[in-house]
Amino acid sequence: MSGFADLPVESVLAIAGEFDRVEDLASLGHTCRNVHHIVEKELITNFPRHALYRGARDGDLELVKRALESGADVNTRFVSSRRKGRFYDDWLPIHAAIDGGHKEIVTLLLEKGADVNGVWYRRQASKIEDLPAVHMLLSLGADINWQSQHGRRVLALACSTGNFEVALALIRAGASL
């Protein structure tokens, strides 16, 4: 008995090309490994920003590189994304890479023009609860005294949420209120 994965590549691509929503295309890609590799090309071609975000989130360096080569904007924002029961509103690809601990991808995104200080945007310092992520940001040159549009510094953001481990790490690195 033949299945969907046994269809010729051209047929799979024709089907994939009919999808208007990236979620449907991604679901098709999860049916099996062979289909995934075929559909991934369609995702990169027609939805490069989603491919960039997915690659950054999942730690797929090659997918990130191909998405950037296809014209994905390194600073594109995602209005809503959900993973493992958590919502990520207004995240950049660099947020997803940092959240996953993918330092090589973070470095690549920075080289391509991502704003390392954009990570502090919208309380990111207080959302990042694991110290390795904070140390990664600092080692990559994030401004330890960055201020929000309302004048709040990163240290104040961490303190206001009770994230004292992050606050202590920021103080040790030279942050000021």
pLDDT per residue as tens digits for the range 72-130: 999 988 755 555 445 455 678 988 888 788 989 988 998 999 987 766 654 454 455 66
Numbers of helices and strands, H then E, in the chain? 11, 2
Rounded to whole angstroms, the Cα distance separating 154 from 124 reads 9
- Two tokens at 86? 């958590």
pTM of the predicted model as reported, rounded to 2 decimal places: 0.66
Give the pLDDT band of residue 12 (cuts 50, 70, 90). low
Which residues lie across from 78 on neighbouring strands?
91
Rounded to whole angstroms, the Cα distance separating 163 from 171 reads 12
Domains of the chain: 117-177 (1.25.40.20)
DSSP state of 148: -
Amino acid symbol at 109 = L
pLDDT at 61 over 80: yes
